[in-house]
Structure 1
């Protein structure tokens, strides 16, 4: 079949299209060496990723390693080291896997040698630091087991950040040892202050610190060293300070640990301290406290060689207390109804009230007793066998009645009765404080003098009234002789 030819139309001819640029071929990863990548990552520095061109992964790996090392050093726990080991295995395996995933593999001997050398250097350094850390830890443990805190702290002072990165769980416990030793230093200072001052409060605080350290396992020997140093200070130069400290140690409740050793030291040193302190207190007139110290020895150590000395001390202190009490009562006696006369007390050191004559301490109205011989009287309670309390004189037995005249008085002639001088008495045996002797004495004397002088008051003179006999010293002596003589 024949087709007609078309004539060209009015349209301009079309230009042929420009040829398109050829598309860029896709990037093909460079061949990788799995062994070099694995060794590079085994260094924990992300070198394998850099060899494969993954710089972001390399930065991530380095940062992750740094973070894990910080965790290991700060926690000093085994789980952190296990986590670091898993990180190391994962990074090594991941480097191998990335390289094996490449289309082409090559053997790059230079990379292998370099990464192997770097990894071995890292691992060898870590191993050496780990071994050295074990050495440091061993010296710390040995010093602590020997009770030598100073050596333990010095050994732990050798630890540096390299040890903590490579062997934190090994050297980490040494930090606790150092902290315990610092606490023991404070305890030792507190106990030393207690020994210097005789302070039971400081002693209690020091033992509290030791108890706290003992709660942490492994510190028994270091605590023993501090305790022995304190116990070695006993007895101190001051027996009273020693008595305070040993008394606290003796009364301390057993704790079933090394601290109970203090009880033996207390038992060995307390008896001498109690006697020594009691003697010292006696010189300072602190008789109550002195007696308490002597009695503590008798109560706590009845079979001690110093028990006899303590019993003598108790007696001396008791007598001193009694004498002081009597002196105070005598000083307070203003009449026969006050002071000693109202509350008689005993003084066991007074002379015995037995057959014979005795010296007496006269209280109350002493108008007549002052006329007694000085050998019968004393003002010192320590020398008196009797205490005689005298009331004011009153009329005793009638002796004689006489008639007197007075031209100036309408009441005369006047009958005047003369009486013996009766003195009511309370006589006490000072040694026992019990009442003894006569209840009164009557003093005789002269009566009916030719001239009787008297004074009267008011307007009217009613006469002199009844009168005492006139007494002489011999009369007073005769009346009081039965009082001071048994």
Structure 2
């Protein structure tokens, strides 16, 4: 019996691994290339992960909804591509058990991913609702605290929603800056006021910011009136002149109208205390011009009158101050002081200013009851010019002792040109030349040789007594 060699049978090829289209599609739905790994297409799996990473990173960094759409399209494309790629190899089906295992593996990868994305989107929506609600209430502090709960997972799951929250936070930060500018503006810094209102206007131009802007504006308006009334005036003046925008910012005008009158009066009072009467007067008059029916109008009117009197008094005092000449400037440039008493019957006190001929302006011989101590108690201002010879009284002969010819000397009254002004009105009430009489022809006269020739001067003043001077001046002060 012939023996023939036994052929060793070749090993059977391994059973082909089943490729279930549904499992591959489910695996690719994870966007992690799990379906491609089931197909043993590692290159495609790596590429799928790379594309996913690029799209998600761009979505997170830009928050552009277009990238969100791109991620969805990529997700649908990966699922469809895995499905059709697996169907092309569907003939190598190895049995129901293997298919079930592939589906379970795919679900085990994809389901947690989808569940995580869903939960993150739900949580991001919850945070977004909190941010939006706080914004609608005008509560920027709550807007920022709620947005602080947003993290990378929220941005990856719902980037546009997270980005909107960031925009709300940025608006609130700008409102904080505007609030700081407005607070600085309460010191009277109108440049800061303008900057703050410009910022509020730009934020208000974006829909949905009405309440947050109103809250910031309300906080500023509650700061009026400021501690410094003059700063308050500067603020209310600026608000009054601000061009109307026909929105919530126009509320500031009503606050300015309500606050300005008291601030104008208080600021005027402050200037009065500092003796800045011109500024005080301007503030009082501003109230009367703008708010004539306000309850403080009477006080402002009294303040304006007081300031006017103070201005007039200061001016009169300057004009009455001693100058380079014998007479003060008032005598050539009179001014009124409305606070002075009017002319009346009887004695009217006067301020006397003379030409001081030979050092005598005659006022030293006038009684104290005729003379005022200053502008506040004076009724008249009497300006006396230089003494000159008046009417002759008597001519008498004189002969020098020893020998010499006789000289006739004429004694004349003292002529004093005067201008009398009523201080209350600054008007000239009398312009005349007084004639002061006195004694004449004394037994002996003295003279200096050579002053008027070899003998005494031919004209001499009478010797005026106190009563003579008073008699001449009495008609000026006694009405």
State the TM-score, normalizing by the size of structure 1: 0.89
For residues 146-182 of structure 1, the C-alpha deviation after alignment (integer angstroms, 9 at most, x for no partner) is 1110011111111011111111112211111111111
For residues 416-444 of structure 1, the C-alpha deviation after alignment (integer angstroms, 9 at most, x for no partner) is 11111111112111111111113221111
For residues 403-424 of structure 1, the C-alpha deviation after alignment (integer angstroms, 9 at most, x for no partner) is 21125796x4222111111111
**Runs of 5+ unmatched residues, structure 2:** 1-14
- In the alignment, the residues of structure 2 paired with residue 91 and residue 451 of structure 1 have an alpha-carbon distance, to the nearest angstrom, of 144
1:229 aligns with 2:222: no
Instruction: Determine the structure 1 residue equivalent to 2:132.
Output: 141
For residues 362-409 of structure 1, the C-alpha deviation after alignment (integer angstroms, 9 at most, x for no partner) is 124252122211111124111111111111111111212222112579
Match of 1:481 among 465, 468, 474: 474
Single out whichever of 362-371 and 135-144 deviates more from structure 2: 362-371
1:398 aligns with 2:418: no
1:422 aligns with 2:422: no
Report the aligned-residue RMSD: 2.2
Largest Rg, 1 or 2: 1
Q: Give the secondary structure class of the aligned counterpart of 1:398.
A: strand
Match of 1:59 among 42, 46, 49: 46
Instruction: Determine the structure 2 residue equivalent to 1:262.
Output: 252
Q: How does 1:293-332 map to 2 (within 5 A)?
A: 293-332=283-322
- In the alignment, the residues of structure 1 paired with residue 398 and residue 92 of structure 2 have an alpha-carbon distance, to the nearest angstrom, of 164
Deviation (angstroms), 1:76? 1.9
For residues 455-474 of structure 1, the C-alpha deviation after alignment (integer angstroms, 9 at most, x for no partner) is 34579534224111111111
**Runs of 5+ unmatched residues, structure 1:** 1-27
1:452 aligns with 2:445: yes
Q: Give the secondary structure class of the aligned counterpart of 2:49.
A: helix
Instruction: Determine the structure 2 residue equivalent to 1:132.
Output: 123
Match of 1:69 among 56, 60, 64: 56
1:150 aligns with 2:150: no
Match of 2:150 among 149, 156, 159: 159
Instruction: Quickly say closer, same or farther: Cα 1:72–1:408, change in 2 above 3 A.
Output: farther
Instruction: Determine the structure 1 residue equivalent to 2:205.
Output: 215
Tell me, yes or no, if the aligned pair for 1:129 and 1:163 is still in contact at 8 Å. Answer: yes
Deviation (angstroms), 1:38? 1.6
Instruction: Determine the structure 1 residue equivalent to 2:68.
Output: 81
Single out whichever of 96-105 and 123-132 deviates more from structure 2: 96-105
Match of 2:239 among 234, 242, 249: 249
- In the alignment, the residues of structure 2 paired with residue 380 and residue 386 of structure 1 have an alpha-carbon distance, to the nearest angstrom, of 11
Instruction: Determine the structure 1 residue equivalent to 2:464.
Output: 471
Instruction: Quickly say closer, same or farther: Cα 1:462–1:55, change in 2 above 3 A.
Output: farther
The runs of 4+ residues in structure 1 deviating greater than 4 Å are: 28-31, 407-410, 456-460
Match of 2:366 among 343, 368, 372: 372
Tell me, yes or no, if the aligned pair for 1:409 and 1:461 is still in contact at 8 Å. Answer: no
- In the alignment, the residues of structure 2 paired with residue 184 and residue 416 of structure 1 have an alpha-carbon distance, to the nearest angstrom, of 98
